[in-house]
Amino acid sequence: MAAPMLKSLGSRRLLRLCRFSDIYRTYLKEGYSQDEIWKQRLQSKYLQKLDAKAFGIELLENFEKTTTFHVVDIDLFVNKIQDLPPSFGYLANEVLYRFRHCQSSVPVKENIMHAIVRGFLESGDLDRLVEIIKDKSKYGVFPDALSMTMLIDHFLKQKNYEVAAQLAYEVMLGEEYKNQTRNFLSLCAALKYYIHTFNHERPEPVPVDEEEEVVYKPVKVIRNLYYDDHFDIKDDRFLLGKTFYLISKNTPRLEGTFSRSLQLLGLGLYDKFELGNKLLEQWIKDDSLEKVVYKSARRNQV
């Protein structure tokens, strides 16, 4: 299926050179995160008096007795995450895990999600935060658009493109693309990762020994019998490709030719060659498109 796609790319209505920096804004404007407003919010006298470590331990002790949390207590705790001593960072994991599995966690409060990301950004314990965000079933943390954008921006500035791309995957998996700024920054993270860090070599297929005897083992439950081609995706190449495809497709403010280029690149990485061929044929037949896709780009512009 890949051959027709490559053949179609020989169309004359392709532009060979493009400056990515002319198409989208790479990083956020100063003041986008509204840090001063957030700091003023934390000047509450009650928050100032609250000891993060002691309060976290108290919450866990009370949970053992009542098996629930009051939402207001969780709201207070997450606004003090940045004050937890490094050796007690685990308290955040324990409290969030238990909160995720009690009835008071529904519906998800956006202000709580935002405070969690803010707190970890300030404390610098970002490995823990990324682990929490990625493990949805365990912690149930869904960053709002502003906090996720701030987090991706942080890793881009640190040139940690791999983690920035992993956060872009989370945006794609969330299937909520209304916030255009988050979309643009997610695509930026994916592109940075693709160009600077991503392993472009396809893994060799695992050889199968036809003569090897198949051993069947009895189990009580068969897990993951159905592959949903979304949350079940583990292959980094597929995650990157689907991120390019879905986010660029759902970002109307993205320049048209660039959007189509990213969609096609994504479908190639995602091994969806049939869909890629179908879209490419449609675009080439569309006389309203002056350019279909970009053929190449300057690497030093990303």
Reply yes or no: is the peptide bond before residue 203 cis, omega within 30 of 0. no
User: pLDDT band at residue 217, thresholds of 50, 70 and 90?
Assistant: confident
pLDDT for 18 beyond 70 = no
pLDDT for 126 beyond 50 = yes
CB 275 within 8 A of CB 4: no
| Over residues 96-120, mean pLDDT | 93
Query: Dihedral sign, CA of 273, 279, 280, 285?
Result: positive
Task: For residue 301, give Cα distances in angstroms to 162, 180, 242, 296.
Answer: 18, 21, 23, 12
| Over residues 179-202, mean pLDDT | 94
> Looking at the chain, how many residues does it have?
302
Comparing C-alpha atoms, which of 225, 228, 262 is closest to residue 246? 262
pLDDT of amino acid 300: 40
The structure's pTM equals 0.85
pLDDT for 3 beyond 50 = no
| Over residues 268-296, mean pLDDT | 91
Query: Dihedral sign, CA of 221, 226, 231, 234?
Result: positive
Q: Which residue has the higher pLDDT, 9 or 139?
A: 139
pLDDT of amino acid 19: 44
CB 79 within 8 A of CB 42: yes
pLDDT for 301 beyond 90 = no
Q: What are phi and psi of 15, to 5 degrees?
A: -100, 130
Can you tell me the distance from the alpha carbon of 87 to that of 90, in angstroms, rounded to the nearest whole number? Answer: 7
